[in-house]
């Protein structure tokens, strides 16, 4: 694993840095493999990044978008990560609808939807039933409780290591989420973390020793590149 931690002055600089990284990886992936695959994070931090990506002139037909996690709500629900990304980015560019691989959330049963999304991913990547396909980029946020994607502290999702997709739980609300081994199979994982409210969780995630199931972002140790892009508010207390 190649871990890089960068503290940027503010959210605007963090977005610019993330955009540069993504565009570089996109260009390499398309040159080498004819396509670029990226999994999006939800929450609020990535929204300006999605707005910035939408302004780029890119070969949209070669770009495939997935979601690293999704709330178990319809795609027109205000809490939907898909809705946020479509409004901030995808609705504004000429990307084929078949390149937008949204998480199914209308089956009435999160376990059914998780299995469906897993099969869709395996079909897309032509992956064996046991393999973990590698996305080019997985974008992640981190909650104040050190969760990432929908891998929340002390939940059963943290123990699922033989699948790509599982059901997460935030309190009583089901989520669909990448498992941490699937995230770790990515070529590059990029965390976007902003705000002083993230300081305590970052201290635990970066500590030499702490409990992974209490601070799930610790589980993200990809075989490829791991980037932590922090704004100065979040990164100000990190040991240098
Ligand atoms: C979600 C996200 C979640 C998010 C963190 C950070 O569905 O909510 O995927 O993991 O990335 O909660 O959220 P903020 O960026 O809003 O702080």
CB 169 within 8 A of CB 152: yes
CA–CA gap between residue 33 and residue 184 (Å, rounded): 20
How many structural domains does the chain have? Answer: 1
Residue-wise pLDDT for 5-27, tens only, equals 999 999 999 999 999 999 999 99
Q: What is the dihedral of CA 195, 197, 199, 200, to 10 degrees?
A: -160
For ligand 1, atom 15, name the residue with the nearest CA: 45
pLDDT of residue 38: 99
Residue-wise pLDDT for 176-206, tens only, equals 999 999 999 999 999 999 999 999 999 999 9
Ligand 1 binding site (Cβ under 6 Å of any ligand atom): 41-45, 69, 81, 141-143, 147-150
Helix (H) / strand (E) element for 235: namely: helix 232-235
Q: What is the mean pLDDT of the chain?
A: 97
Q: Is residue 8 part of a domain?
A: yes
Q: Is 139 exposed, middle or buried (0-12, 13-18, 19+ CB in 10 A)?
A: buried
pLDDT of residue 1: 78
Query: The CATH number of the domain where 11 resides is what?
Result: 3.40.50.1360
Q: Is residue 239 part of a domain?
A: no
Strand, helix or coil at 77? Answer: coil
- Report how far ligand 1's centroid is from the alpha carbon of 150 (Å): 8
As a whole number, mean pLDDT of residues 33-50 equals 98
Q: Which ligand 1 atom sits closest to the C-alpha of 44? A: 16
Q: Is residue 236 part of a domain?
A: no
- Report how far ligand 1's centroid is from the alpha carbon of 84 (Å): 12
For ligand 1, atom 10, name the residue with the nearest CA: 149
Residue-wise pLDDT for 110-138, tens only, equals 999 999 999 999 999 999 889 999 999 99
In the structure, what pLDDT confidence band is assigned to residue 108 with cuts at 50, 70 and 90?
Answer: very high
Q: Is residue 142 part of a domain?
A: yes
Residue-wise pLDDT for 141-183, tens only, equals 999 999 999 999 999 999 999 999 999 999 999 999 999 999 9
Q: Which ligand 1 atom sits closest to the C-alpha of 150? A: 10
Q: Is residue 208 part of a domain?
A: yes
Q: Is residue 18 part of a domain?
A: yes
Share of the chain above pLDDT 70, in %: 100
pLDDT of residue 190: 98
For ligand 1, atom 12, name the residue with the nearest CA: 143
Q: Is residue 92 part of a domain?
A: yes
pLDDT of residue 240: 62
Helix (H) / strand (E) element for 151: namely: none
pLDDT of residue 207: 96
Whether the per-residue pLDDT at 106 is higher than 70: the answer is yes
As a whole number, mean pLDDT of residues 100-110 equals 98
pLDDT of residue 46: 98
Q: What is the dihedral of CA 22, 23, 26, 30, to 10 degrees?
A: -170
**Domain residue limits at 175:** 2-231
Strand, helix or coil at 41? Answer: coil
Strand, helix or coil at 84? Answer: helix
Q: Is residue 149 part of a domain?
A: yes
CA–CA gap between residue 230 and residue 227 (Å, rounded): 10
């Amino acid at each position: 694993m190649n871990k890089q931690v960068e503290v940027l002055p503010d959210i605007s600089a963090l977005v610019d840095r993330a955009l540069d990284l993504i565009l570089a990886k996109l260009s390499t992936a398309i040159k080498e493999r004819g396509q670029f695959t990226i999994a999006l994070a939800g929450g609020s931090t990535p929204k300006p990044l999605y707005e910035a990506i939408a302004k780029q002139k890119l070969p949209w037909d070669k770009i495939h978008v997935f979601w690293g996690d999704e709330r178990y709500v319809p795609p027109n629900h205000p809490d939907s990560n898909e809705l946020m990304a479509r409004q901030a980015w995808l609705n504004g560019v000429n990307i084929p609808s078949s390149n937008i691989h949204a998480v199914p959330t209308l089956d009435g049963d999160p376990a059914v939807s998780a299995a469906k999304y897993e099969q869709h991913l395996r079909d897309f990547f032509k992956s064996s039933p046991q393999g973990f396909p590698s996305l080019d980029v997985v974008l992640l946020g981190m909650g104040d409780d050190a969760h990432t994607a929908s891998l929340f502290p002390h939940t059963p999702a943290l123990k699922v290591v033989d699948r790509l997709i599982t059901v997460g739980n935030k309190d009583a609300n089901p989520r669909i989420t990448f498992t941490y081994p699937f995230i770790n199979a990515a070529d590059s994982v990029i965390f976007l973390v902003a705000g002083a409210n993230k300081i305590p969780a970052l201290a635990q995630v970066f500590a030499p020793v702490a409990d992974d199931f209490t601070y799930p972002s610790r589980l993200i140790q990809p075989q490829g590149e791991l980037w932590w892009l922090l704004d100065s508010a979040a990164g100000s207390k990190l040991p240098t």
